[in-house]
C-alpha cells in the first residue's frame, strides 16, 4: 500500500470513518449530464436514415463519429426504417445531412473554453445546471423541427451543451471525490456517456426519431431536478473565501463522523498556492508542472482519437459478416454498445486498484495487436486468400479492442484531465483539452474515409497501430501515476521534483 493511502486510512481511523455514499450520489447526479450528452452523440445513427431518401445502404458512408469514439456507422438502420412505417415530414439531402452531423463538433469546440472560464469564475455547480438549457433547447427544436434549418440549429445547441458538459462534469466529479475513490468516480463520466449512447441505440432502433427525441428530452429536466440538490465543490468555495460553506459541503460529502481537519487544510493550502499564481495559457506554459500536465492531457486526447477506435467501429458490420453472422446491423451495434458499457464499468472498479498507467499501457498494446491482426485479415481477404475458416478472428479482435479501449483510453483521458492540473489552471486547461479532442474528432472523421479509399482499410488499421506503438512510450515515460495522490503530490511529480 502506498504512503498517501496509508496516511489517509490512518486519518480516518483517528477521526472517524469517511462515508462515500454522498460522493457517489453527487457523482451520479453530475454524470446525468453525460447520459444526456451520450443521447445527443448517438442520435444521428437511428435518426438520420429516417430523414434521408431511400438509397442503397451499402453505399452509405459514416456521417459522424462522437468524441468518445463510440458512435456507429450511419448505414445501419434502413431495414428498421422501413419497418417503422412512419415516413418523415421532410427529408434531408446529402449536404443537409452532413451539416446536421458536423455542426455538433463546431458547437462543442466553441463552448469548451468559455465553459471552463465560467466554471472557474461562477462555480462548477451553476455551470452544469446552466448547460441543461442548451440541452433542452436542442430537443425542443428537434421535436418541433419542420425542416433542415431547425435540425441544424438544434444540433448546434447540442454541441454547445456537449462541449460544456465534457469540461464541467469531469471537473466537478474530480473535485468532490476523496483521493481513494477519485479514479472510480472519475470513470463515471465515460461510463454514463456509454449508457446514454446504448440507450439511444436501443430506443432509436425501433422508434420514430421524434419519439426518441421526446424521450431524450426528459434527461436535461432530470439533470436539473437531481443535481439542484448537490453541493458546490469545496475547492471552489475555498477559492472564494467561503470556508464555512466549503466545510459544510465537505461535511455532506464525507459524512458526519469524518475528520475533515487534514483534508480541509490540504485543500486550503492548494487554494492559497493557486491564489498566488496566475491562471491562463501564458502562465501555464511558463511553469514546468502545468506545462507537463498540459502535454500529458493533450497527448492522451490525441492517442484516444488516433487509437483506431473509429476505424474499428466503422467496420463493425463487416466484421460480424466475416464471422458468418446474420445478426442485423442494429443488433450488432447494440452488442458493441453493451460490451463497451460493461467494460467501462469494470474500468471504474479497476482504476483504483490497478492504477491509471497500467490500464493505459494495456490499451496501447492490446489495441495495437488487434489492429495489426485486423489489417492482416482484411489484406488477405482483399488479395483473394480464403479466410473463411478464420472468420471468427476479426470478431474476437473487435471484442478485445472494444474492451481494451473501454478499460483504458475510453475513460482515463477524461479522468486525468481533472486530476493533472492545479486549481488555478483547471478551467482553462480542461477547455483546451476538450477543444483539442473535438478538433481531432473532426480530422479523423474527415480523413478516415479518404484514407480508406486511397490506401485500403487494412492500411488504415496498420496506420493506427503505429500510433499505438508510439503511445506505449508516451505513457511509460510521460504519464505519471495519479492513483492515491493529492494535487500537490501530482504537481511535484510533474515538476520533476520527485
What is the mean predicted confidence (pLDDT) over 169-194? 91
pLDDT tens-digit readout, 110-126: 999 899 999 989 999 99
Backbone region of residue 79 per phi and psi (left: phi > 0; alpha: psi in -120 to 50; beta: other values) = alpha
| Rounded distance between C-alpha atoms, residue 131 and residue 99, angstroms | 23
Residue 355 per-residue DSSP state: -
Written as nine digits, the cell of 470 is: 508510439
Confidence of residue 88 (pLDDT cuts 50, 70, 90): low
| Rounded distance between C-alpha atoms, residue 223 and residue 343, angstroms | 25
Confidence of residue 446 (pLDDT cuts 50, 70, 90): confident
Confidence of residue 279 (pLDDT cuts 50, 70, 90): low
- Higher pLDDT: 477 or 77? It is 477
pLDDT tens-digit readout, 423-441: 778 888 888 999 999 888 8
Tell me which H or E stretch contains 200.
helix 188-204
| Rounded distance between C-alpha atoms, residue 498 and residue 321, angstroms | 52
Cα distance from N-terminal residue to C-terminal residue, the chain = 18
pLDDT tens-digit readout, 201-255: 899 888 899 999 999 999 999 999 999 999 999 999 998 889 999 999 999 999 8
pTM for the complete prediction?
Answer: 0.82
Most confident of 50-54, 96-100, 202-206, 366-370: 366-370
Per mean pLDDT, which range of 156-170, 283-297, 358-372 is the poorest?
283-297
Confidence of residue 2 (pLDDT cuts 50, 70, 90): very low
What is the mean predicted confidence (pLDDT) over 325-348? 86
CB atoms within 10 A of CB 18: 21
| Rounded distance between C-alpha atoms, residue 298 and residue 432, angstroms | 8
**Which CATH architecture best describes the domain 20-230+277-494?**
Up-down Bundle (1.20)
Residues 6+ apart with CB under 8 A from 458: 374, 375, 376, 377, 378, 379, 382
Confidence of residue 443 (pLDDT cuts 50, 70, 90): confident
Q: Which residue shows C-alpha cell 465553459? A: 115
Check residue 76 and give its pLDDT: 38
Check residue 487 and give its pLDDT: 82
What is the mean predicted confidence (pLDDT) over 291-314? 90
DSSP assignment of 153-193, as one string?
HHHHHHHHHHHHHHHHHHHHHHHHS-GGGHHHHHTHHHHHH
What is the mean predicted confidence (pLDDT) over 301-313? 88
Residue 62 per-residue DSSP state: P
Residue 77 per-residue DSSP state: -
Helical segments of 355-456, H only: 356-382, 392-407, 412-419, 423-455
Check residue 38 and give its pLDDT: 93
Residue 128 buriedness (CB in 10 A; 0-12 / 13-18 / 19+): buried
Is 173 a residue whose pLDDT tops 90? yes
> Average per-residue pLDDT in the chain?
84
Amino acid at each position: 500500500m502506498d504512503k498517501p493511502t496509508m496516511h489517509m486510512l490512518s486519518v480516518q481511523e483517528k477521526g472517524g470513518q469517511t462515508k462515500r455514499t454522498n460522493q457517489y450520489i453527487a457523482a451520479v447526479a453530475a454524470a446525468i449530464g453525460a447520459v444526456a450528452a451520450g443521447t445527443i452523440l448517438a442520435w444521428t445513427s437511428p435518426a438520420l436514415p429516417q430523414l434521408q431518401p431511400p438509397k442503397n445502404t451499402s453505399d452509405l458512408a459514416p456521417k459522424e463519429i462522437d468524441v468518445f469514439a463510440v458512435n456507429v456507422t450511419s448505414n445501419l438502420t434502413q431495414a428498421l426504417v422501413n419497418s417503422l412505417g412512419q415516413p418523415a415530414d421532410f427529408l434531408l439531402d446529402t449536404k443537409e445531412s452532413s451539416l446536421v452531423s458536423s455542426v455538433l463538433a463546431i458547437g462543442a469546440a466553441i463552448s469548451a473554453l468559455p465553459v471552463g472560464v465560467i466554471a472557474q469564475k461562477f462555480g462548477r455547480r451553476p455551470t452544469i445546471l446552466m448547460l441543461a438549457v442548451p440541452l433542452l433547447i436542442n430537443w425542443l427544436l428537434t421535436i418541433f423541427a419542420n425542416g433542415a434549418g431547425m435540425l441544424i440549429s438544434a444540433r448546434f445547441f447540442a454541441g454547445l451543451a456537449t462541449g460544456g458538459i465534457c469540461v464541467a462534469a469531469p471537473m466537478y466529479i474530480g473535485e468532490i471525490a476523496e483521493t481513494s475513490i477519485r479514479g472510480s468516480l472519475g470513470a463515471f463520466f465515460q461510463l454514463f456517456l456509454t449508457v446514454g449512447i446504448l440507450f439511444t441505440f436501443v430506443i432509436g432502433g425501433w422508434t420514430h426519431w421524434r419519439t426518441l427525441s421526446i424521450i431524450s428530452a426528459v434527461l436535461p429536466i432530470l439533470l436539473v431536478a437531481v443535481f439542484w440538490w448537490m453541493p458546490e465543490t469545496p475547492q471552489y468555495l475555498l477559492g472564494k473565501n467561503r470556508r464555512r460553506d466549503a466545510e459544510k459541503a465537505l461535511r455532506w460529502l464525507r459524512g458526519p463522523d469524518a475528520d475533515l481537519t487534514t483534508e480541509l487544510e490540504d485543500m486550503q493550502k492548494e487554494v492559497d498556492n493557486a491564489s498566488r499564481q496566475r491562471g491562463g495559457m501564458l502562465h501555464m506554459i511558463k511553469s514546468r508542472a502545468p506545462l507537463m500536465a498540459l502535454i500529458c492531457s493533450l497527448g492522451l486526447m490525441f492517442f484516444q482519437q488516433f487509437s483506431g477506435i473509429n476505424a474499428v467501429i466503422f467496420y463493425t458490420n463487416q466484421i460480424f459478416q466475416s464471422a458468418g453472422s446474420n445478426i442485423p446491423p442494429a443488433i450488432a451495434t447494440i452488442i458493441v454498445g453493451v460490451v463497451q458499457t460493461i467494460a467501462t464499468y469494470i474500468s471504474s472498479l479497476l482504476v483504483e486498484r490497478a492504477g491509471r498507467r497500467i490500464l493505459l499501457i494495456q490499451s496501447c498494446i492490446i489495441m495495437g495487436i488487434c489492429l495489426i491482426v485486423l489489417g492482416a485479415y482484411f489484406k488477405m481477404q482483399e488479395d483473394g486468400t480464403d479466410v473463411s475458416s478464420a472468420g471468427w478472428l476479426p470478431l474476437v479482435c473487435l471484442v478485445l479492442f472494444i474492451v481494451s479501449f473501454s478499460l483504458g483510453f475510453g475513460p482515463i483521458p477524461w479522468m486525468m484531465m481533472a486530476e493533472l492540473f492545479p486549481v488555478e489552471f483547471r478551467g482553462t486547461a480542461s477547455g483546451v483539452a476538450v477543444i483539442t479532442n473535438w478538433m481531432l474528432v473532426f480530422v479523423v472523421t474527415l480523413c478516415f474515409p479518404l484514407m480508406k479509399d486511397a490506401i485500403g482499410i487494412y492500411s488504415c488499421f496498420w496506420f493506427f497501430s503505429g500510433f499505438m506503438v508510439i503511445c506505449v512510450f508516451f505513457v511509460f515515460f510521460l504519464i505519471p501515476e495519479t492513483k492515491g495522490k493529492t494535487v500537490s503530490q501530482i504537481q511535484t511529480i510533474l515538476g520533476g521534483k520527485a
